[in-house]
Structure 1
Amino acid sequence: MTIIDQWWVVAGTAYAMLLGGLVGYERELKNRPAGFRTHMLVAAAATLLIEIGELLMADVRYRSSSVVIDPLRLVEAVVSGVAFIGAGTIFAARSGNGVAGITTAASLLMVAIVGVAVGFGFYLLSLAVTLLTLLVLGVLGLIERRYLPSPAGDEAEPQEPKS
């Protein structure tokens, strides 16, 4: 593991932050519970975890038979961590009419997986998935608001309790 290898990890992490930031900015514009910085950090953490695993696999100090590094276990760790953060963005509306924050939780999962893709070196795939995510959040969100009735659920503003 050389210094140059580590700088490539930093570059990949920065790229993941950029992609996560694009999705986070969209969430920020809509004043959602997790915005620009949160999405950037989730994407970066996912990339960094995968990249550190790859550095460890390449490091001769960790090639003994007693050390087993499984990249898919790192992906599981990313998903578990994001599930915890995503759960914090989902909350029941006080009126009991619905749940808010599900789409933001899903966008956090998407940027985490984008970060995983960057960590594994799938740069074009991660960019394409980020653009598709923005399409879903932006364009499909406009279509949904215009043509579908507004449910009291997904991404609805929490209702104040009636006194």
Structure 2
Amino acid sequence: MEWMEQLRVLPAVVYAMALGGAIGYERELKDRPAGFRTHMLVAGTSALLLGLSRMVLEDDHYAGTGLRIDPLRLVEAVVAGVSFIGAGTIFASRKGDGVQGITTAASLLTVAAIGITVGFGYLALGFAIAMLTLAVLTLLRWFERRNLVAPEDPPK
């Protein structure tokens, strides 16, 4: 496969990284354990892996070799890997005050899903989900502070 053909995945990876970065920037502003760079890398890697699987499926080099690639299995692998990273952002308080980092872990899973979506070529859907995620992370916090909705972790 020509090297120029290989670079066709790059714009999707950059786009996924930008979307993930927007979400990561919000997490960074709130001083969460996973921020801008982590979210960018998770989204970009997800898009890269899905784009790579699409390239391999279309590559004549592998035709007739019996190579089988199931993109949905790759999605499962991405989700499992990101879940491991997300688990590292969750901390239980030693004082028994609760658990912190669950929203950041969920945002990492979401940017992985955005990267997967972009990797499959659904750019508008990836953008829409990124904007919806930012709305959840910012607007719902604003409503919580004004006691318009119940807080995620009510005070004890």
Shorter chain as normaliser: what TM range? over 0.9
1:29-108 aligned within 5 A: 29-64=29-64, 66-108=66-108
Tell me the distance in 2 between the aligned counterparts of 1:63 and 1:98.
54
Tell me the distance in 2 between the aligned counterparts of 1:4 and 1:118.
20
- Contact 1:13–1:48 (8 Å) recurs in 2: yes
Matched residue, 1:151? 154
Matched residue, 1:125? 125
TM-score by length of 2: 0.93
Matched residue, 1:135? 135
Q: Report the identity percentage.
A: 57
Q: Which amino acid aligns with 2:19?
A: L
Tell me the distance in 2 between the aligned counterparts of 1:87 and 1:152.
24
Tell me the distance in 2 between the aligned counterparts of 1:60 and 1:8.
16
User: Structure 2: which 5+ runs fail to align?
Assistant: none
User: Structure 1: which 5+ runs fail to align?
Assistant: 154-163
Matched residue, 2:113? 113
- Contact 1:97–1:152 (8 Å) recurs in 2: no
1:63-109 CA-to-partner distances (Å, cap 9, x unmatched) read 22521100101100110110000000011011112100000000000
Q: Report deviation, 1:142.
A: 1.2
Instruction: Detail structure 1 runs of 4+ shifted over 4 Å in the superposition.
Output: none
